[in-house]
Amino acid sequence: MQIPVTITWKSIGWIVAAIGAVISATTYAVWEVRKDVIEDLRRQISVYEQSKGWKLPETLAQLNVISEKLQEQFSERALLDKLKVEKQRALEANGDLQRRLTVSENLNASLQARTASLEADLQKSIAQTTTINLKQGESADLVRNRLSLGVSSIYSSWVTGYLDNESISINVGQNRSLEVSGKKCVLTLKRIEQSTAMFAFSCV
């Protein structure tokens, strides 16, 4: 069944107005899209125009120089960091050595004081004239821990034995000279009686 449609000038005006609105909206949208495209093209043209003034080889050379300088700076920074670490290790090692040196110096001072004391005792002991009486097979220290005398055999006028680990044969009244700690010393067989050898030992 057909529905009758009545067309009037008023309805025609409405239709024309609607069509015009649609055309206007479409034209505006197309214009906005074209405007964005045109702006993008203008930017590209501007960049292109600016690039014409570039000297490409020189620009590349400058970029290479900058890159090399940056690389050098990075290398120098790495080297500086490495040197800082090595410096810290050296400072720690130096501190350890200083502590060991202090201990060694204290020990050395103690040893020197002990040596000086022993040397003083030695000088005091050898500064005196000592009389030593020995029978056959006996020994004695002339200087403590430094010089010893041993008697192997005793005869009527002489004695055999060892002086400072060297064999000797000495007659009554005979002297044996030797040096002990920088002092000149003399060992003398004074006499023999009752199978006993009597010695005198002195240093100057």
Nearest to 148 by CA among 134, 158, 169: 134
How confident is the prediction for the chain on average, in pLDDT? 77
pLDDT of residue 166: 92
> Are 136 and 177 contained in the same domain?
yes
pLDDT of residue 78: 79
**Is residue 34 one of the residues assigned to a domain?**
no
- Strands 196-203 vs 183-193: parallel, antiparallel or unpaired: antiparallel
Q: What is the per-residue pLDDT across 32-59, written as a single tens digit (0 to 9) for each? A: 556 666 677 677 666 656 655 555 567 6
pLDDT of residue 34: 60
Q: In 43-146, at which residue ranges do the beta strands (DSSP E only) sit?
A: 130-135, 139-143
Residue type, 90: A
Q: Is this model's pTM higher than 0.85 or not?
A: no
**Is residue 42 one of the residues assigned to a domain?**
no
In the structure encoding, which two tokens stand for residue 2, read together?
A: 């057909």
Q: Which of 108, 126, 144 is the last residue of a domain?
A: 126
**Is residue 1 one of the residues assigned to a domain?**
no
> Are 98 and 147 contained in the same domain?
no
| Structural domain of 110 | 58-126
In the structure encoding, which two tokens stand for residue 108, read together?
A: 């050395």
Provide the CB-side half-sphere exposure for 171 (13 A, CA).
2
pLDDT of residue 158: 95
Q: What is the per-residue pLDDT across 74-113, written as a single tens digit (0 to 9) for each? A: 777 777 788 788 888 888 888 888 888 888 888 888 888 7
Site of tokens 């002086």: 163
**Is residue 21 one of the residues assigned to a domain?**
no
- Assess contact for 169 and 98: CB atoms under 8 A: no
In the structure encoding, which two tokens stand for residue 96, read together?
A: 């350890």
Q: What is the per-residue pLDDT across 112-156, written as a single tens digit (0 to 9) for each? A: 877 766 666 656 655 567 889 999 999 998 888 788 999 999 999
Q: Which of 98, 126, 154 is the last residue of a domain?
A: 126
